[in-house]
Amino acid sequence: MAARKAAPGVAGKSPVPGIAQDGEPIVLGADDGEQRKAVPTLIRWAEPGSNVYVSGSFIDWQYKIKLHENDGMHGVVVDLPVGTHCMKFIVDGKWRCSSRFVIAPDDDGNLVNFFKVEDVIEEAEIEKEDNVEGLDPSAMSNSPPGEYGSAIPDLAKLARDASASRRNEPPLLPPHLNQVLLNSSEIRRDDPNVLPVPNHVVLNHLYACSIKDNVMAVSSTSRYRGKYLTTIYYKPVTPLS
């Protein structure tokens, strides 16, 4: 960056076009009368230093712009065209890169800061695009519904409450699983020991009947080739006192 010399500013006077006094934004005109949209951009140096200037590709590295100190930081507002720019700071007479911006070599191999200026959509344009006929734009909100506050929620309690709500409302049993042999009263009149052929969806499931007369029954049906086997287990249950 030593090959890029920046002309020092003169106190109380703007030494070159594009450099403004304290508190004034710097407007950089486009070359050859080209009209390009400019976006007010704050360039800030937040690291140690007394006299801070900046130069960059947006002024063809021809001048340096003074950053004014405010609340321990140095900054200046510059109206820059939309796009990617590179810059480098001059802090107390030495070329410096800021750690708050991307640092990469330029075409000449010098380390510089890169930053991107994006287009700013005017608030009036946003309201015009989002406005629906017959709907008040002030009634529209991008925030999700619900209550908001400054208290940090207890995530563990929320997880417990969500788990408890799921336990209180178990998922519904698919209707085809209700057709099980334990719930079926249909038997063959010619042979009461032969049960009807079960549906294939009820195979290899464990089913339990409601407790009756302090006895609980569970069953499971399996298939081997063309035969079905249903096993029922009975267990006495001691009623709770």
- How does DSSP assign 164-203, residue by residue? HHHHHSPPPPPGGGG--GGG-----SS-TTPPPPPPGGGT
What confidence score (pLDDT) does residue 54 get?
Answer: 92
What confidence score (pLDDT) does residue 169 get?
Answer: 64
What confidence score (pLDDT) does residue 146 get?
Answer: 72
What confidence score (pLDDT) does residue 70 get?
Answer: 85
Residue 212 has pLDDT above 70, yes or no: yes
What confidence score (pLDDT) does residue 1 get?
Answer: 47
CA dihedral over 170, 172, 176, 180, signed as positive or negative: positive
Bigger pLDDT: 215 or 3?
Answer: 215
Q: Report the C-alpha gap between 131 and 129 in whole angstroms.
A: 6
CB 202 within 8 A of CB 221: yes
CATH number of 175-236: 2.20.25.290
Q: What percent of the chain has pLDDT over 70?
A: 59
3-state secondary structure 101-149: CEEEECCCCCEEEEEEECCCCCHHHHHHHHCCCCCCHHHCCCCCCCCCC
| Mean pLDDT over the full length of the chain | 73
87: confidence class by pLDDT, cuts 50, 70, 90: very high
The continuous run of DSSP H or E covering 162 comes out as helix 155-168
Q: What is the pTM of this model?
A: 0.40
Of 221, 197, 193, which Cα lies nearest the Cα of 207?
221
Q: Report the C-alpha gap between 48 and 72 in whole angstroms.
A: 9
Considering the four listed CATH numbers 3.30.9.10, 2.40.400.10, 3.40.50.720, 2.60.40.10, the one that applies to the domain covering 26-124 is 2.60.40.10
28-34 mean pLDDT: 47
* CB atoms closer than 10 angstroms to residue 211: 13
Query: Hey, where are the domains in the chain?
Result: 26-124, 175-236
Per-residue tokens: 126:
């946003």
What confidence score (pLDDT) does residue 14 get?
Answer: 34
- Which tens digit of pLDDT belongs to each residue from 100-135? 888 888 888 888 999 888 876 655 555 555 554 444
Per-residue tokens: 167:
């336990």
